[in-house]
Structure 1
Amino acid sequence: MTFPDVLKRGDEFLKEYPRQSRMWRFLSYSTCLITLGFSKLIMSTFYNVKVNNLDKLQDALKRAEKENRGIMTIMNHMSTVDDPTFWAAFPWKLYNWNPDNVRWCLGAENICFSNKLLGYFFSLGQVLSTKRFGVGPFQGSIDASIRLLSPDDTINMNWTPWGQVKEYFAPAGYQPPVKRNKPAWVHVYPEGFVLQLHPPYANSMRYFKWGITRMVLEATRPPIVVPIFTTGFENIINEGSKESFFKQIWKSIGTEINVTIGDPLDDSIINLVREEWDDLVKKFYDPEKPTDLSTRLKYGEEAQQLRSKVAAILRDNVAKIRDQERKFPPEDPRFKSPAWWKRFTTTEGKSDPDVKFIGQNWAIRRLQTFLNIDEKKKHNEGKNEEKPNRKEE
């Protein structure tokens, strides 16, 4: 079930840059091609790149186009160079010189959009500015991802408390904020942060956050979801190294990069959780504002339980590649638990001293110096303003 106001906010977020103009489209596609080409040159020249099961991704892309559906790829996050080097691992034929085949992804606002120049560069590279540290899944980049995954002219009409919504969000003359011929490809790192751990916990994952579950549940048509697991990028940039970026690149020449693509999630699984979401919408929509998510649908226990369930399903499918195809030792069961990660991060690792990070756990708020300014600003504007009582993402 899709709410018109969610799609409208997604449109507004995407319109922050002039993505409809011919000049923007030219510069955006050029930026993506140049970045991809340079990355491919580096990867093919200096690294041993192996891509397993590429046909699964190719078939998923073809099926998504045929069925007019968006496609989501979800992947573990082991290095700051995962993007764009990950995309450079694929052959040019995957993109078919088609701008619609270029992926969209989410990037941390405090890193990728820390100034106007970087903001324009990453926006041209089809990266959506995403806020971390307490902002949660109800923000512009997630709404925009839902919009990108949804065909321009569709909405779920199985049950609509607000009547003829197609008139509401797609009136005559409606111009989508991104010129395209099909729903988008959105790539997500659901852990939210890079994770590198010392043995015996290497190649493990954090829990998956809820933003990705909104994309699965709220896109107007169910997206095709493809899990991916990678290794080797963590050896290009080691989070614990004191050496410069370029020195690490030089010393990592010859590293094996392994990209393994898994089977797309069965449509029956996606449809089942979407049906559960539809039932919650029917039960908890707000009659006074039926075109938007109600408080219960955002922060209610039932909605949160469903998002946790979907996040766990998605994580299990990425872990399945790790365990069954890459043959790594089984993950520690603690790592599946959001509650464990929250406790571990809050105590800065003291709760479980056997788990050691390579470098820093960047989920620790104290390490994010940019938050100091924001927190002071909040204090000056009225820190005690009432907010909804809800569980953390």
Structure 2
Amino acid sequence: MLWRYKHTLPRMRGFLICYTRGSRIGAKSRTLWTLADAAKDSHLYGIPRRITLTAGGGLAKLYGLILSDTKVHNRERLLSLVKSRPPGTPLVTVSNHVSTLDDPLMWGIRGLPLADSKLCRWALAAEDICFTNAFFSYFFRLGKCIPVTRGAGIYQPHMAEALERLNDGDWLNTFPEGKISQEGGPLRRLKWGTGSLIARAKVSPIVLPIGHSGFEKMIPEQWWRGKRPPIPLWNKKVDIFIGEPMQFDIPTLKQDAFKWARTSAGVSSSDCGSSNADDRNRPSFGSTGFGPHPLPFGARRSSAFLQTAETLDTMRTDGIHAPLLDGPLLDEAAWRWMYTDITEHIWVALSDVTEKARTLNQSRA
């Protein structure tokens, strides 16, 4: 009995420090030993998750169907993919980001099962906003949120958790802009995180772009004295436009990335001294071109890749199967080529649905 209390009291003390003081150090330690369990459906028999999802879903329905004038265009596309997509096929929804409560307010759609722990979406959430203390961390983990640390890169530990959810065939919602933008201009440069998850998933996810307009009026960043309102404002017009689903041919993309990396490595071996050789034909994010997107690489990487390519040629000549589409045969630059290509396609599709949502919203203003 004493041994049990010996290991329990430090945990209770860490929880109390985190809960009462809201310290960042306490929140992170809490994340390590508790929140992984809270994210599971089996946590306390799933009762806290069902309560949290029901409360969040009720709030979304309240604002989406009663307190605001919300129009959802092509609603059936989302409902059919959430409820009856092929078994084992993950769903990734991508959306523009205009307020801190885009998720969950954008899911206040009639017919969408937000209280179903199996069908409800997983979401990537900023650690510095949603996981600042023990209470918030526990609440958002129950609400199927995955913490993401801004600036920590696409291979941070919790991105591996997001990849596991896709490999389980679940629904994941992301805001690839990475931060809120209420200026109303073109979409910002998209982060690579969403593209990297799509490229590395075991089964190519169905990607559904969703554009919305009007949430920036419900949660304005500069409402009173430069602060947001304490609760969402009501009696606002909101338009949600659901675009066409798309699915990337990952094996073909891997083959294209392999060919590009082999070609670029050959060019680099003959002209690796030119500092501008990699950037001459590189389009910026937000362009509509889908050609190769070269990335900087060094002579060491190029030499290693040429050696791999020569080995594969020898294996092919000898009649030995060469698994060109396996991930390990792609170096980091080739993988990033894939991330960039996928991200460019998402940017174009998301820009289109966002502009349509804005136009529809302005016509009703």
Match of 1:83 among 78, 103, 121: 103
**What's 1:210 paired with?**
192
**What's 2:73 paired with?**
52
Q: Is the 1:146–1:219 contact (alpha carbons within 8 Å) kept by the matching residues of 2?
A: yes
**What's 2:19 paired with?**
none
Map Cα deviations across residues 328-379 of structure 1 (whole Å, 9 max, x no partner): 8xxxxxxxxxxxxxxxxxxxxxxxxxxxxxxxxxxxxxxxxxxxxxxxxxxx
* Distance in 1 separating the partners of 2:329 and 2:100: 35
Q: Is the 2:204–2:248 contact (alpha carbons within 8 Å) kept by the matching residues of 1?
A: no
Residue aligned with 1:313, SS? helix
Residue aligned with 2:106, SS? helix
TM-score (norm 2): 0.65
Closer, same or farther: CA 81–97 of 1 in aligned 2, 3 Å: closer
- AA at the equivalent of 1:139: Q
Residue aligned with 1:101, SS? coil
Aligned length: 268
Q: CA RMSD in A?
A: 3.3
Cα shift at 1:242:
2.7
Q: Aligned runs of 1:99-110 on 2, under 5 Å? A: 99-110=117-128
Q: Is the 1:226–1:264 contact (alpha carbons within 8 Å) kept by the matching residues of 2?
A: yes
* Distance in 2 separating the partners of 1:218 and 1:275: 14
**What's 2:157 paired with?**
140
Closer, same or farther: CA 85–280 of 1 in aligned 2, 3 Å: same
**What's 1:318 paired with?**
350
Closer, same or farther: CA 296–274 of 1 in aligned 2, 3 Å: closer
Cα shift at 1:313:
0.8
The reply to whether residue 121 of structure 1 matches residue 139 of structure 2 is yes
Cα shift at 1:68:
1.8
Closer, same or farther: CA 253–314 of 1 in aligned 2, 3 Å: same
Match of 2:240 among 245, 250, 259: 259
Closer, same or farther: CA 128–150 of 1 in aligned 2, 3 Å: same
**What's 1:70 paired with?**
90
Q: Is the 1:222–1:271 contact (alpha carbons within 8 Å) kept by the matching residues of 2?
A: no
Cα shift at 1:247:
6.6
Cα shift at 1:196:
1.4
* Distance in 2 separating the partners of 1:75 and 1:24: 32
Closer, same or farther: CA 248–25 of 1 in aligned 2, 3 Å: closer
- Runs of 4+, deviation exceeding 6 Å: 12-15, 278-285, 292-296
**What's 1:304 paired with?**
336
Identity of aligned residues (%): 24
Residue aligned with 2:118, SS? helix
| Gaps in structure 1 of 5+ consecutive residues | 1-11, 152-182, 286-291, 329-393
**What's 1:16 paired with?**
36
Cα shift at 1:304:
2.2
Larger Rg: 2
Cα shift at 1:20:
5.1
Q: Aligned runs of 1:147-296 on 2, under 5 Å? A: 147-151=164-168, 183-197=169-183, 202-243=184-225, 245-246=228-229, 249=232, 252-265=233-246, 267=247, 269=249, 272-276=252-256
* Distance in 1 separating the partners of 2:129 and 2:234: 26
Map Cα deviations across residues 68-123 of structure 1 (whole Å, 9 max, x no partner): 211000000011121111112x12x3228632111000111111111111110110
Residue aligned with 1:192, SS? coil
**What's 1:28 paired with?**
49
Map Cα deviations across residues 125-149 of structure 1 (whole Å, 9 max, x no partner): 100010003x111112221111111
Residue aligned with 1:49, SS? strand
| Gaps in structure 2 of 5+ consecutive residues | 1-31, 263-303, 309-325, 361-365
* Distance in 1 separating the partners of 2:121 and 2:130: 17
Cα shift at 1:45:
2.6
TM-score (norm 1): 0.61
Cα shift at 1:214:
1.4
Structure scoring higher RCO (CA < 8 A, sep ≥ 6) equals 1
Map Cα deviations across residues 126-176 of structure 1 (whole Å, 9 max, x no partner): 00010003x11111222111111113xxxxxxxxxxxxxxxxxxxxxxxxx
